Amino acid sequence: MLTLSAYLVAIVIGMKATASAEVHLATGDSINEQRNAGVSLDTAAAQLRITREWASKLAWLSRTFPAADREEIGAENLARLRITHLEAIAGQQEHLRVPLLIAAVEERLSVRDLRRRAAGLRGSRPMADQATDTVERSGGPDAMQSTERALTRYARMPKDQLLRIYTGKSGPHIAGVIRAAHQLEARITQEGCESLSVLPHDGSPV
């Protein structure tokens, strides 16, 4: 991770506008660390020689894209993204942010195209589906689909990327999901439930 001093150097040599998403997120981390230590946002911004508004934006993006998301996106991809890419999908549903940013790199999407894709995904979901209660959000189809998509992405990752994520902060959670799935499978068998046919995401039979 880039240090706060590295970001200051980037500012001095005029790179703030073109710095990578990795640099900006690292700086947002530093700002949030200072805020947690009791330093005011104005003071943190002054130390960085940036405006209060810019410091607030970086801190917000740092919280929006936590370490687990960054591990999944990958350092190389973050180095190729800009802060405008992050802003373009920051308001998107949490489980869609990582795939959108990865797609932005792999497909070389402009910020405008990324915004259009994010808006299309956001607008494609009926409002009635969004008005779900707490139980539905925590254990309903959307939550299960999100978990399934995440595990499918992990299973298809290159070995080095998978190992980096599994040995990082996300590892214990991945292991927990796998363990819980085995426990649920055993319970379903115990209760004598019939096995459900499994369909991939395109809806075609396995």
Question: CA 25, CA 204: separation in Å to the nearest integer?
Answer: 40
Residue 197 has pLDDT above 60, yes or no: no
**Number of C-alpha atoms within 13 angstroms, CB side, residue 51?**
4
pLDDT digits (tens, 9 = 90+) for 52-87: 999 999 999 999 999 888 988 888 899 999 999 999
89 in Cβ contact with 97 (< 8 Å):
yes
pLDDT (average), residues 103-121? 88
pLDDT digits (tens, 9 = 90+) for 10-58: 443 344 556 889 999 999 999 999 999 999 999 999 988 899 999 999 9
Residue 2 has pLDDT above 90, yes or no: no
Residue 204 has pLDDT above 80, yes or no: no
- What is the band of 133 on the pLDDT scale with cuts at 50, 70, 90? very low
Amino acid at position 26, single letter: A
Residue 203 has pLDDT above 90, yes or no: no
Q: Phi, psi (5° rounding) for residue 82?
A: -115, 165
Choice between 162 and 36, residue whose per-residue pLDDT is larger: 36
142 to each of 45, 61, 95, 129, how far by Cα in Å? 39, 24, 10, 9
Core vs surface per residue 155-177: b (16+ CB within 10 A) or e: eebeeebeebbeeeebeeebeee
Question: CA 162, CA 71: separation in Å to the nearest integer?
Answer: 10
